Amino acid sequence: MSCALELTEEDGEVKGVTGAQCKVGEKYAAEEFSDPRRVVTTTVPVRHGLLPLLPVRTTTSIPRRLILDVTRRLAEVVLEAPVSNGQVIVPDIMGTGVDVIASRDLEKHDDRRQGQA
């Protein structure tokens, strides 16, 4: 869960992290300071699916400064149902080395629900 971390730095170099309740906390604090990264989740339009949108995610985190570019890039993708959970939608998005994958199965469905794609 959450804990309050304190990071000390000198000339942009991390000197220490205190207050972490687990090992993950120390690494997280250092990364937040020098190279903040985020998992990006959004939706991508799908044709002929049970739903008009497919939720997708980056498998791991990517640099925070690329979030908006990644979402804009994904808005251009158009998929065709059916889609499988974990299917790679865009490999190595924007050269990050991280894939964008489907977050669920989405079956084909002929009579469309409301919504656009």
**CA gap 106, 101 in Å, rounded:** 13
Among 7, 14, 30, 51, binds other proteins (CB under 8 A): 51
- Map the footprint of other proteins across residues 88-117, applying CB under 8 A: 103-105, 113-117
Interface with other proteins includes 52 (CB under 8 A)?
yes
- Map the footprint of other proteins across residues 19-48, applying CB under 8 A: 19, 21, 38-39, 41-43, 45
DSSP for 28-95 reads HHHHHHHS-EE--EEEEEEESBSSSEEEEEESS-EEGGGHHHHHHHHHT--EES-B-TT-EEESSGGG
| Minimum separation from the CB atom of position 67 to other proteins (A) | 7
Among 8, 18, 34, 85, binds other proteins (CB under 8 A): 85
C-beta atoms surrounding 107 within 10 Å: 12
Residues making contact with other proteins (CB under 8 A) = 1-4, 19, 21, 38-39, 41-43, 45, 50-53, 55, 57, 64, 67-68, 71, 85, 103-105, 113-117
